[in-house]
Amino acid sequence: MSDAVKKDKCIIEEHTPWQETTLGGVVTSSGNAQYYKTGGWRAMKPIWKEDQCKQCLLCWPTCPDSSIPIKDKKRQDFDYDHCKGCGVCAKVCPFNAIDFVVEGE
Ligand code: SF4
Ligand code: SF4
């Protein structure tokens, strides 16, 4: 049995043998994004402009991927391992403190 199945979350990893994947590759449990760097799918990328940020935290609850870390009640830079580049955070920021650019530029 692979490590993927031992994690008891029906996780399909890069090296999971096909015999141990779920039927149709269906993801059957939540919370397994922690095992993947899903940011690799990103085509667009948010850039935090810390000097313009007022720490209002409006961006934080809107992120569908929990990719805006909070420490000591203040937002930190993006978790680019998991940000998928949807752009919602840049849209909601009332202080223009998040640029949204093409990945790799
Ligand atoms: S919404 Fe904008 S100003 Fe508010 S915390 Fe986020 S980046 Fe900073
Ligand atoms: S671009 Fe989307 S996924 Fe990335 S931090 Fe902003 S809201 Fe979250």
Tens-place pLDDT, residues 30-60: 777 777 788 888 999 999 999 999 999 999 9
The DSSP call for residue 22 is P
Q: Which atom of ligand 2 is nearest to the CA of 86?
A: 2
Distance 21 CA to ligand 1 centre (A): 40
Return the number of other C-beta atoms located less than 10 Å from residue 48's C-beta.
Answer: 19
Architecture, CATH, for domain 37-105? 2-Layer Sandwich (3.30)
The ranges assigned to domains in the chain are 1-36, 37-105
CA distance 79 to 37: 10
Residues 49-87 as b/e (b if ≥16 CB within 10 A, e otherwise) read eeeebeeeeebbeebebebbeeeeeebeebeeebbbbbe
Instruction: Report if pTM > 0.85.
Output: no
Which single residue is written with the structure tokens 């009332």? 94
Contacts of 37 (CB under 8 A, 6+ apart): 81, 82
Distance 6 CA to ligand 2 centre (A): 31
Tell me: the pLDDT tens digits for 3-37? 444 445 556 677 888 888 788 877 777 777 777 78
Distance 23 CA to ligand 2 centre (A): 30
